[in-house]
Structure 1
């Protein structure tokens, strides 16, 4: 399972050794003073729980698995406002810069904690000293400032609306903008960018940030987007996020959109921007994907294979949890439930962070070392012999055959991404770096075809404008407006969906009833009739 995020909250009947000690709760709520736990003792204890959670999180592979005791302890502490501050301070101070799952664990823990009040958030910002002078010191303590930016971004996302506006004070905004200096540590720049993006989900904040960026003689994002092809992989992430923000959020007068300058010559296969879960970011050339949401986002490529032997490669840009492999058109993306590629019976995936294979939501360990930025994952699909082989920097693992008991046709290259993860695909447009030496294969790019219009990855706001403006053919699917609406859901009998979109749904979007059966109907249904 993708997210390794156990969402179960501790219940009132949990064992005493899991729930935090009553005197600790009394202390953090202010009811115990000199005769109770000392503040430093509680901080040390919380630090231990945070590090224990970080250490164990990569071993949690089942979405239904109970959270580890250390996480339950943190939940109990954070249940009180004062305790929430203790947990956040601890995460900021102890989660190391080098752990690839560090930012994701901060997001996971904050997602499971109660929402803080406005007063608590203000107190937190004062404690962190979010001043320009503080931001300029990020090279001296990049771990601290990286973690502060992750926390701010997560809180901004959870407190969407008026509360998010109140959080983005001038001090907070200046703190984040000050980090967008190319002389600062790239990890801090990256998460300051992501925090600004999260704040911009509220339109008033988006306007404030855009105005502030516009006041700079040279918009710092314009400089940072030049890092897209940097040799260092953290810099490369900064370049990706800066370019995405300029294309989608903080529009800069006189700057062409990135898709207008992409060289699409000889680009015949790419990630499918029409076949992707809702929060995944795809680069303008359609070959890079990144997730900065707390959900588990997935995508398939544009080319389907039904026979023969096929190979592609993915460059690992971040070393966290990604599940990369093969999926069919019947595979479902359940991003909020943590299910992605390898989590159904018709897909298979390689997870290089947790050193696992995935198929049918079951994991199997492999002997490759944990991947790191710059590693090349190769994936070979051999439909002639019904096997999949994964390679790490050219080193093959034993073939897998599990998926072929349920599917033999209709495969796509596909991947799923945990929070803050990114990779770049090569479907054969460039020479492969570690091609299989003993197995003849084909590449997508040599056999696929794309129309010029299909190669364009539009910014989201432009895409939405075009969708609103386009005329919808009578009888079209109410979700994609492309295929014919030929499916009726049972038992609710609601209609208006094409076969492809219906397979992505578990509950009816009209009545919220569980879909037990999808029945094909011959007559075409008008969009107007279905919406009614």
Structure 2
């Protein structure tokens, strides 16, 4: 009986404590609900009792409160590098598209600050890509690139290529509309000869589209008017920059066999033979035109009565050259193997035929073109990839030359000498900036190892 009574007492006490806790929870929940209802219900009761006038006043007050920070934000300068918001709420309005010309110029201004593939693209570039998802937006972007990219900015063609390469492929209707808007022919090429930027940008756009749309779309794009326009730009009366990019555009159109036959039938080789004489011109802009003309005559638009350049070049005095057997696909190498050029949207690479395993060595490079390039020393273990632009590799000691108005190059600091046999001589290497005070093409850079 004592044990049974004690068990009943314990069970009764547990039930009593559980009942007390349950009551406390219900009371707290009830009070909290009343408090929340009172707090949240003030506006609801006011809306129900105040009628339409109070509702209008409340909406106006909310609009005024939301308009204040918007006005302050508009007055602040926008950072062109700032990445966009990745998403928006269900009631958040879409981001307003800025002026296309301004976005293109913003991209041109910040593109030289991108030194790594892993960096976030600029806000302006992402916005332009979003706009180009529709035919109308794509046409606006292309026309803006032709209209506002200045001739004197050496990264202008690179920005045109970069933006168009990352934009969605245009539809057939968009290409047809672009052809109608531009309305190119031989007479248009003679217009505005005092302002060559428009013609340079037009040729750069056509070349980029021909490279992206190789095949039937490229055949449709090379209309008789566009072919006449590009051939007219090759005349000696044109600006050398216009001639250069018109020739590059014809090279890219010729990647499609039907276009190559069409261009060859236009007697382009006769014009290129005249331009080939500029290959050794002291004017480095004309020298680029001569290089491309010579390369096209040797590789694309052959002429029966002309001997190939590499068959007659004298190599007896050359001890080292660029290795044509250790080169990526789209790099152009001169017949004597001492000069290389890349006009593809991908990043092309080549090694030299002379290796170094002891001692102290250096070589000198003459920069003929503007733009972005990688120059330096590399071990045999380094791998050159077309998409590895400006990416640090453990077996690569690179210097970067970026042709801008304030010319400078980026270099990797060598942590340990290559001759020490370290497998990763550039481990934990960082960027160092060197202001070379380079002014114009033809500047020489030395690389010592």
TM-score interval for Structure 1 and Structure 2 normalised by the shorter chain: 0.7 to 0.9
Alpha-carbon distance in 2 for matches of 1:84, 1:156? 16
Q: Which of 212, 227, 232 is 1:173 aligned to?
A: 227
State the partner residue of 2:395. Answer: 346
Q: Does 1:230 align with 2:281?
A: yes
The C-alpha deviation readout for 1:220-239, integer Å capped at 9, x for no partner, is 10101111011111111100
Q: Which of 96, 106, 119 is 2:150 aligned to?
A: 96
Shift of 1:279: 1.2
Alpha-carbon distance in 1 for matches of 2:306, 2:390? 38
State the partner residue of 2:162. Answer: 108
Alpha-carbon distance in 2 for matches of 1:190, 1:272? 26
Shift of 1:123: 1.6
Alpha-carbon distance in 2 for matches of 1:101, 1:88? 17
State the partner residue of 1:122. Answer: 176
2:84–2:123 Cα contact (<8 Å) kept: no
Shift of 1:12: 8.8
State the partner residue of 2:333. Answer: 282
Assess, with a 3 A threshold, how the Cα gap between structure 1 residues 362 and 213 changes in structure 2: closer, same or farther.
farther
Assess, with a 3 A threshold, how the Cα gap between structure 1 residues 231 and 15 changes in structure 2: closer, same or farther.
farther
SS of 1:309's equivalent in the other structure is: coil
State the partner residue of 1:364. Answer: 432
Shift of 1:372: 3.2
Q: Does 1:373 align with 2:427?
A: no
Q: Which of 13, 20, 25 is 2:86 aligned to?
A: 13
Alpha-carbon distance in 2 for matches of 1:370, 1:111? 30
SS of 2:214's equivalent in the other structure is: coil
Alpha-carbon distance in 2 for matches of 1:286, 1:15? 55
Shift of 1:213: 2.0
Alpha-carbon distance in 2 for matches of 1:12, 1:54? 21
Q: Does 1:83 align with 2:101?
A: no
Shift of 1:280: 0.9
Q: Does 1:147 align with 2:207?
A: no
Shift of 1:11: 9.4
Assess, with a 3 A threshold, how the Cα gap between structure 1 residues 139 and 111 changes in structure 2: closer, same or farther.
same
SS of 1:212's equivalent in the other structure is: coil
Q: Matches of residues 125-140 of structure 1 in structure 2 within 5 Å?
A: 125-137=179-191, 139-140=193-194
Q: Which stretch of the first structure deviates more once superposed, 69-78 or 136-145?
A: 136-145
2:116–2:390 Cα contact (<8 Å) kept: no
State the partner residue of 2:101. Answer: 47
SS of 1:336's equivalent in the other structure is: coil
Assess, with a 3 A threshold, how the Cα gap between structure 1 residues 311 and 172 changes in structure 2: closer, same or farther.
same
Q: What TM-score does the superposition give when structure 2 sets the normalisation length?
A: 0.73
Alpha-carbon distance in 1 for matches of 2:398, 2:437? 16
Q: Which of 190, 214, 218 is 2:244 aligned to?
A: 190
SS of 1:355's equivalent in the other structure is: strand
Shift of 1:313: 0.8
1:153–1:194 Cα contact (<8 Å) kept: yes
Q: Does 1:68 align with 2:117?
A: no
Shift of 1:362: 4.7
Assess, with a 3 A threshold, how the Cα gap between structure 1 residues 116 and 348 changes in structure 2: closer, same or farther.
same
The C-alpha deviation readout for 1:481-511, integer Å capped at 9, x for no partner, is xxxxxxxxxxxxxxxxxxxxxxxxxxxxxxx
Structure having the larger proportion of residues in strand: 1
Q: What TM-score does the superposition give when structure 1 sets the normalisation length?
A: 0.62
Q: Which of 208, 211, 215 is 1:157 aligned to?
A: 211
1:279–1:297 Cα contact (<8 Å) kept: yes
SS of 1:322's equivalent in the other structure is: strand
Q: Does 1:328 align with 2:401?
A: no
1:318–1:372 Cα contact (<8 Å) kept: no
Unaligned segments of structure 1, at least 5 residues: 1-9, 25-41, 382-532
Structure having the larger proportion of residues in helix: 2
Unaligned segments of structure 2, at least 5 residues: 1-82, 403-407, 414-425
CA RMSD of aligned residues (A): 2.2
Shift of 1:352: 2.9
Q: Matches of residues 388-403 of structure 1 in structure 2 within 5 Å?
A: none
State the partner residue of 2:307. Answer: 256
Alpha-carbon distance in 2 for matches of 1:165, 1:146? 21
The C-alpha deviation readout for 1:330-378, integer Å capped at 9, x for no partner, is 11101124257xx212221222325311365853222323563111111
Shift of 1:20: 11
2:323–2:353 Cα contact (<8 Å) kept: yes
Q: Does 1:292 align with 2:348?
A: no
Assess, with a 3 A threshold, how the Cα gap between structure 1 residues 345 and 263 changes in structure 2: closer, same or farther.
same
Alpha-carbon distance in 2 for matches of 1:371, 1:58? 17
Assess, with a 3 A threshold, how the Cα gap between structure 1 residues 301 and 138 changes in structure 2: closer, same or farther.
farther
Alpha-carbon distance in 2 for matches of 1:112, 1:370? 31
Alpha-carbon distance in 2 for matches of 1:14, 1:144? 37
2:366–2:444 Cα contact (<8 Å) kept: yes
Alpha-carbon distance in 2 for matches of 1:307, 1:15? 60
